[in-house]
Amino acid sequence: MEKNSDIQHYQINPEQALEILSLQEMEWLIEQADGENHELLRRCILAILNTGSELDDGREILRAFQSFDVKFESEGRGLKIILTNPPENAFVDGVMIRGIRELLTAVIRDILYQQKNYQKSINHLIESNTISDDIFDQLRLAKTLNPSRRPNLVVCWGGHSISELEYKYTKTVGYELGLRGLDICTGCGPGAMKGPMKGATIAHAKQRASDLLYLGITEPGIIASEPPNPIVNQLVIMPDIEKRLEAFVRLSHGIIIFPGGAGTAEELLYLLGILLHPDNANLPFPIVLTGPEKSRNYFEQLDKFIRKTLGDDAADRYTIIVEDPVDTARTLNSGILALTKYRESHNDSYHFNWRLKIEEEWQKPFDPSHENMSKLNLQLDQPKHILAQNLRKAFSGIVAGNVKPDGIAQIEQQGPFVINAGMDLADSLTALLQSFVDDHRMMLPTPSKKYQPCFVVKKM
């Protein structure tokens, strides 16, 4: 049922990077907003206006606000955004909440304005280093890069579908990170993406810290299903999952992985694929997998899968710490200090890891169609960094089938994805995925809805 809004029309002007625009830029943005990008823009802005929502099905949000719409007009003072029937929870006494207004500007900046650079790369088949340049340019425009700040950004990955005990643990870890002056970056949604930020806010307040960064990095296919949590004060919407992942690893000075599901496994596999590349073998990069005692089995299953498929060298790149937030924060902090010394000795930048080798093939968007999912090379007899990337794509498809509107529609029309894998790998993959299903880690628990797997693993 659609929700009625007392606010039928609301007008605002964008801020920050889009506060001062030329007439040509405004005309171009109006044209883009009225064209083929309109529905994407509408979905993403609607997600922003639902910041803090616990829903993980973008279609439910769209159904609840079918009459919501957005359009642009130009005026002497700049671009004017007109919202029709926006969600009331985005307002207080008829005035839009300040944080939501800032995030709304980020949507326009990243969905429309920034797309010009990426389109040039696509049209001219520009090589890998230019794609990284475009990622850098988008992060710079969003003002997330601070060359004078010593390395202190911790990326926290983990699931939106976690237990209350696990969520509280992420808050405690975030608190310990905040006490040590570390900033937080997550995928910006609920669960393990919100907890570390919430915990860090208290610690930062105790330390009287200022100029704090709670950075959320997402992409259009995810944001509609995982609206940003209210703590995010900087939002970047990368054009696709591959550029989102690259932004995470090039920005971060250390990564913590909390319990999660298919999306968390995808992120870990992407990271291990990068670090297993021969050119990246000696780069310091602290990684900690952590959770409460109740999550021990999750990490044991994940570690077992990594060792069987990618080998002990891959597992040696991370540390598993169970039920110890203080040790987790200390380990990350120590690793960041070592990383800082390495970058200083090699004259590397603090704010963007240019030294990482990321192959062009890994930067290309993967379309999780039924055909592409079935054709993935999931055999053990290939270089480990390439196998890790192919496994990453398999998990990316599962995420799409679970929570992305287009992926869900594909599954409803054509049935589950078929994932073909070598015999030994198929057994390991099936065991890991089944553990996610048994532990309710695929989607947020819904009393009226039992999880139906969007995949079938077949042995070759």
> Is 135-460 a domain of CATH 3.40.50.450?
yes
The pLDDT value recorded for residue 125 is 46
The pLDDT value recorded for residue 31 is 87
The pLDDT value recorded for residue 1 is 45
Residue pLDDT, tens place only, 396-450: 999 999 988 889 999 999 999 999 999 999 999 999 999 999 888 887 665 557 8
The pLDDT value recorded for residue 77 is 76
Residue pLDDT, tens place only, 142-164: 999 988 889 999 999 999 888 99
Check whether 301 has a pLDDT greater than 90.
yes
Check whether 64 has a pLDDT greater than 90.
no
Q: Where are the domains of the chain?
A: 9-113, 135-460
pTM of the model: 0.90
CB 17 within 8 A of CB 99: no
In this structure, the dihedral spanned by the alpha carbons of residues 401, 406, 412 and 417, taken in order and rounded to 10 degrees, is -40
CB 264 within 8 A of CB 166: no
The pLDDT value recorded for residue 5 is 58
Q: DSSP string of 184-206?
A: EEE-SSSGGGTHHHHHHHHHHHH
Residue 83's φ and ψ, nearest 5 degrees, are -105, 130
Check whether 257 has a pLDDT greater than 70.
yes
* Topology alike, domains 9-113 and 135-460: no
> How many other CB atoms are there within 10 angstroms of residue 10's CB atom?
18
The pLDDT value recorded for residue 259 is 96
The structure tokens 């206006």 sit at: 49
The pLDDT value recorded for residue 447 is 54
State the fold for domain 9-113.
MCP/YpsA-like (3.30.1850)
Residue pLDDT, tens place only, 176-187: 999 999 999 999
Residue pLDDT, tens place only, 198-244: 999 999 999 999 889 999 999 988 887 778 899 999 999 999 999 99
Q: Dig out the tokens for 328 from the structure.
A: 């987790």
For residues 19-42, average pLDDT: 86
The pLDDT value recorded for residue 320 is 98
